[in-house]
Structure 1
Amino acid sequence: MICDRNLIAVVDDDKGVQRALSRLVRALGYDSVTYGSGEALLAAVHTRALACVILDHHLPGQTGLETLRKLARSTPPIPVAVITGLDEPGLRECCLAAGAVAYILKPASQFDIEAAIKKATFR
């Protein structure tokens, strides 16, 4: 599967956050697809050629970090920016060590999201 350099997945269990991030992604010139959990993303990841994922850490079921670790083993690996509203000691380091290209705190600015996407997609 060839990567669609314009398709960004937004994974968040809060529908309002999904909509807001999806609108921002589209305003930056990308297409977006949304998922409410890490499991939903992983179930669909082989059907979509994603450029990158904006992944909330605090999700129902498996955490963003667990999802990130599974995505890092995919072939080819999909770049992931982890976003969270509840920063925990050591979480940034764990996410970056697991392969995240960025660690973003909510509320995220347009600059933070744009920088993470550009880093992930090499634009």
Structure 2
Amino acid sequence: MPGAGPDPRPSLVFIVDEDEAVRQTLTSLLGQEGRQAIAFGSGQEFLAAERPPQPACLVTEARLPDKDGLELQYALSDRGDPIPIIFIARDGDVRTSVRAMKAGAIDFLTKPVDEPELLAAVRLALQRDEVQRRERERLGELRRRIASLSPREREVMRRVVRGVLNKKIAIELGIAEITVKVHRRHMMDKMGAQSLAHLVRMVDRAEPEPD
């Protein structure tokens, strides 16, 4: 499978903070770093907005008036949105920071935000998003390859990755051993597997639903 190169689309930093002055300050700071920023005054505004497709991260106030940062984090998780999140707070809320980090946040910063620290966190978040996007693309391709298999090829594949020999597969499926070999060859070609070990790694990574 060909490796995915760097995403040519510019990355985005979303900012959610009820304080307009903070939004403007962060937007200006990120702009000086060559980052494109889109700011929102509430979590609901952010959730309702159309999301551009390029790599992105979210910088959000931990305590928002309509939906606090943790609720926003959980809402994104519930809808399957893995965008990396950086929290900022007016004080060192240890309990909230621990919960946020356990839920996958990149960092939890306190106001006034240390600019180099924030910029470093944003760089890390965007790098993580790019890596996660490439992995999702690879998984999607593997699952498409598995879906392209015929039912019989999938039955053969399930047994092959468990180390079952062709002769036993033939007995289990009630077909000739030569037919198993034909299905196996077609399956390996469709999967793009260079070896049995390669096939096993692909199937383990894709985690397909059991038949």
- Trace 1:1-123 onto structure 2 (pairs within 5 A): 4-44=9-49, 46-49=50-53, 51-122=56-127
Identity %: 29
User: Structure 2 regions of 5+ residues with no counterpart?
Assistant: 1-6, 129-211
User: Structure 1 regions of 5+ residues with no counterpart?
Assistant: none
Task: Report which stretch shifted further, 85-94 or 7-16.
Answer: 85-94
Q: Which amino acid aligns with 1:108?
A: V
Q: TM-score, normalised by structure 1?
A: 0.88
Aligned residues: 121
Once the 2 structures are TM-superposed, how far is the Cα of residue 86 of structure 1 from its aligned partner? Answer: 2.5
Task: Report which stretch shifted further, 77-86 or 87-96.
Answer: 87-96
Q: Is the 8 A contact 1:4 1:51 kept in 2?
A: no
SS in 1 for 2:94: coil
Once the 2 structures are TM-superposed, how far is the Cα of residue 93 of structure 1 from its aligned partner? Answer: 0.4
Higher relative contact order (CA 8 A, sep 6+): 1
Higher radius of gyration, 1 or 2: 2
CA distance in 1, matches of 2:9, 2:45: 19
CA distance in 2, matches of 1:59, 1:30: 24
CA distance in 1, matches of 2:20, 2:33: 20
Q: Which amino acid aligns with 2:20?
A: K
Once the 2 structures are TM-superposed, how far is the Cα of residue 97 of structure 1 from its aligned partner? Answer: 0.9
Cα separation, partners in 2 of 1:62 and 1:76, compared to 1, 3 Å: closer
